[in-house]
Chains A and B, each alone.
Chain A
């Protein structure tokens, strides 16, 4: 564990900007063989990235924690199928998107209500220097589900509309419409 060899280039994660880095690291191989300590190393390395993605897709901190855990449990179950033809980080990123979106779709069917509920304190208080960034995060979290997911995937994560359409089970044009709405709502929210 002294040399986890997990140093992917920072852009390895994002779709449009993605540069797949094919290699199976030592930690990945050991985790796939059932080594939990190695898997914990992977968790420590990637938790922040996965959590940020879940948080923005779900718009809710409590949910984001649950999803992050689901993602790593799912990763553990599927590690054997990870072939190393993409960077582990990209694979995990894709898995996270799937976990969150699948559950959000199921939940929408179940709950009929699609607006995000965030619990008390989960929307961060804007503060001084980082106020602008947090305002943007808060505004993103407050977007309607579909608009938020498309915005996060397209404008933050760099996915294309065709791919987003597939992930969300919507037409490409619908994805564009959601993006347009998201950008408009964000502009309005931030201009206040």
Chain B
């Protein structure tokens, strides 16, 4: 996960630094803003990279395809920047790199471009259709959506991630919600308060510890649900499935059929309870696994 985002980042950096190819134009703009200034960036094709820094200014650098124009302006009340393509059908990529105050609230919209964000702690809203999203350095509030691109994020306090088919990998966070139709989801955390993963057919995987007082919910129609937790798990566990199989490495309890063909359920308390682990599938299999000591943090 880490490797992927690093590659994305270094790629973006290289592109940003490379001399412009024929027909391309280099751009650079600066603005002094406030610590928490909202910043909106529109870059439909090509990559957008945003890094938080400890200055009250926004610096935008990048390369644009021939004929494209850059708009960029604003004040401490808000900054708006983006690329207007000469021809809407033009898919030559523009590459933008922004430095923004760490506490800024950043909003980025793209269509096919990748979005990379590092070290923005204020708030983050990123939307792309087919691009990839990579976020490092926990924004307090994060919304990330992609249709088809993979989304990899380090969650801060509150995070919501959505894709249609893009794979999702989330780490950390306190209040985390993830939804996909067919993408695969992995969530790794050990200090969350509330997390909910849902899919229609994508596989859902949780790895980490279920903290006391937390609530972890995984819900899928047809995806396989895997929960890999330390042997010291302490939680109230409620698994229901209509047609799926359940593999339970925590005890000998087995699925009991619910009355009236309402599916099957497995409910038990691991350890002394104190947290809720809830899994619901229609036909996806459910695996409750003990993490080997090595993979446990």
Out of B141, B178, B238, name the residue touching A125 (CB < 8 Å): B141
Contact (Cβ within 8 A) B276 A121: no
Cβ–Cβ contact A120 & B177, under 8 A: yes
CB distance from A64 to the nearest CB of B (A): 17
Q: How many A-B Cβ pairs are below 8 Å?
A: 29
- Given A120-B198, A125-B143, A126-B141, the answer on whether A113 and B238 have CB atoms closer than 8 Å is yes
A13–B236 Cα distance when bound, in Å, is 40
Q: How many residues of B contact A (CB 8 A)?
A: 18
Cβ-defined contact, B158 with A115, below 8 A: no
Contact string, B150-190, partner A, CB cutoff 8 A, digits 1/0? 00000000101000000000000001011100000000000
B3 to chain A, nearest CB (A): 28
Contact B158 A120 (CB under 8 A): no
Q: With A113-B238, A120-B178 as known contacts, state yes or no: A125 contacts B158, CB within 8 Å.
A: yes
**Does B196 count as interface, using CB distance less than 8 angstroms?**
yes
Interface size class of A (residues with CB under 8 A): 10 to 19
* Main DSSP-derived SS at the B contact region: strand
Q: B194 — which chain A residues lie within 8 A by C-beta? A: 142
Q: Is A21 an interface residue (CB 8 A)?
A: no
B-facing mask of A99-117, CB < 8 A → 1, else 0? 0000000000000010101
Distance, CA A142 to CA B213, complexed state (A): 12
Contact status A125-B276, CB under 8 Å: no
**Assuming the A-B contacts A120-B179, A125-B141, are A115 and B215 also in contact, with contact meaning beta carbons closer than 8 angstroms in the complex?**
yes
A83-B14 Cα distance, complex, nearest whole Å: 76
> In the complex, which residues of chain A have a beta carbon less than 8 angstroms from the beta carbon of B179?
120-121
